[in-house]
């Protein structure tokens, strides 16, 4: 045979049909079919069935409610380039309910008491509802950002025209608002997610399989663990005493720190967040206000955002009370301001002041707890774990919890916090996981 007589036969590629580009109002729904925004109320059998059962006073099955919510969230979209974009349904309630509640609360003093008391209760109820289901939600992030914008809008519309706020004061308040947004943007970034590919390349596939099998066998007897083998950190039976941390040289260390869900060996103080679904370095807690975890890389920005918010909020409250309740101190005007409900403008401003006071008090408590934890070099997750296992030293009725594991003194603790995410910190005590 001659050289090159055998030519390779080229296989014809099967041509896949090209998808037509979507217009601004079209989208691909959860069933993989092309749909249109205008047809959002068409062909919804679950919703029709739910309405029929509601009209006939019959109970709805939980599965039916979930399917209705899934359908609504899938069809709630806005026109966009190259297809309609999906809108998270959890961001809508604050945009609608907050202005309505505040305007209703400004009609009368008693209405204000009822509404401003019920708002924190409703927020806490929704928090525990989503927290129990381990679901991510944009409700609190939407509530926080919209509250900032709406309070600033009311300040510009109702307080500034009275002539008591100067340009310099307005500029300072505006700068504070922008600094809050910048700090929140930085806090929303990567908190220190662990990359499964680069966490531990020294483990062979057989070792990984062995760790997975042992981790799953171990979780069967632990009520505080989930079926994936990763330990939970927010339930009442998390991380029982039998799973105590081992020294660095212990042969069981890899098994104790192995996360079967992320397929990696966790370093010291790292933890798996069941809401985000990933392990985070030096995880402090999952914060609903930023819809993400607070960890090694964003803890400083989180503290900075809280600090700037407190300063800006107190300054805005002071300016507003000085305008609507003249010749009175801030503390006196907050509780006694005669004639504030005489006109709607001052009543709305006063209601917004009290709403801001409630939010500021809650953020101040979180800020205080964070300062205490940093001073003792302990994370919120470690505090909750120490309280459950009764291993920490409690001070001031449990406000301060010192685990003693990483505490090296006030100055050294703050120095270590100031260098988080910049360089690796190695201490003998931190080799104990």
Which active-site residues does the annotation give? 287
Nearest to 119 by CA among 135, 138, 140: 140
């Amino acid at each position: 045979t001659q050289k090159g007589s055998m030519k390779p036969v080229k296989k014809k590629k099967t041509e896949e049909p090209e998808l037509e580009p979507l217009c601004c109002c079209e989208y691909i729904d959860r069933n993989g079919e092309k749909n249109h925004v205008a047809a959002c109320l068409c062909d919804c059998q679950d919703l029709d069935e739910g309405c029929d059962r509601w009209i006939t006073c019959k109970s709805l099955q939980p599965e039916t409610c979930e399917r209705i919510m899934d359908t609504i969230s899938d069809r709630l979209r806005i026109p966009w380039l190259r297809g309609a974009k999906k809108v998270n349904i959890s961001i809508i309630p604050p945009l609608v309910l907050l202005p309505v509640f505040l305007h209703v609360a400004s009609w009368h003093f008693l209405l204000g008491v009822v509404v401003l008391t019920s708002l924190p209760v409703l927020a806490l109820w929704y928090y525990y509802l989503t927290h129990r289901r381990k679901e991510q939600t944009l409700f609190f992030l939407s509530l926080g950002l919209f509250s900032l914008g709406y309070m600033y809008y009311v300040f510009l519309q109702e307080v500034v025209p009275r002539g008591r706020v100067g340009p310099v004061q307005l500029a300072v308040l505006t700068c504070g608002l922008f600094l809050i947004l910048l700090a929140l943007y930085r806090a929303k970034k990567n908190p220190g997610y662990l990359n499964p590919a680069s966490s531990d390349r020294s483990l062979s596939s057989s070792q990984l399989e062995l760790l997975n099998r042992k981790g799953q066998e171990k979780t069967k007897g632990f009520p505080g663990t989930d079926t994936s083998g990763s330990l939970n950190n927010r339930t009442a039976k998390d991380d029982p005493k039998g799973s105590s941390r081992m020294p660095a040289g212990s042969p069981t260390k890899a098994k104790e720190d192995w996360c079967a869900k992320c397929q990696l060996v966790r370093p010291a103080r790292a933890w798996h967040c069941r809401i985000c679904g990933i392990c985070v370095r030096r995880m402090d807690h999952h914060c609903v206000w930023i819809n993400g975890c607070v960890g090694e890389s964003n803890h400083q920005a989180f503290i900075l955002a809280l600090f700037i918010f407190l300063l800006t909020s107190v300054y805005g409250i002071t300016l507003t009370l000085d305008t609507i309740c003249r010749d009175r101190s801030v503390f006196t005007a907050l509780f006694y301001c005669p004639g504030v409900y005489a006109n709607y403008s001052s009543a709305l401003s006063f209601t917004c002041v009290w709403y801001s006071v409630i939010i500021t008090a809650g953020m101040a408590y979180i800020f205080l707890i964070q300062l205490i934890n940093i001073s003792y070099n302990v994370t919120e997750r470690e505090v909750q774990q120490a309280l459950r296992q009764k291993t920490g030293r409690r001070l001031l009725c449990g406000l301060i919890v010192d685990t003693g594991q990483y505490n090296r003194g006030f100055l050294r603790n703050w120095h270590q916090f100031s260098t988080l995410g910049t360089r690796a910190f190695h201490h003998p005590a931190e080799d104990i996981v």
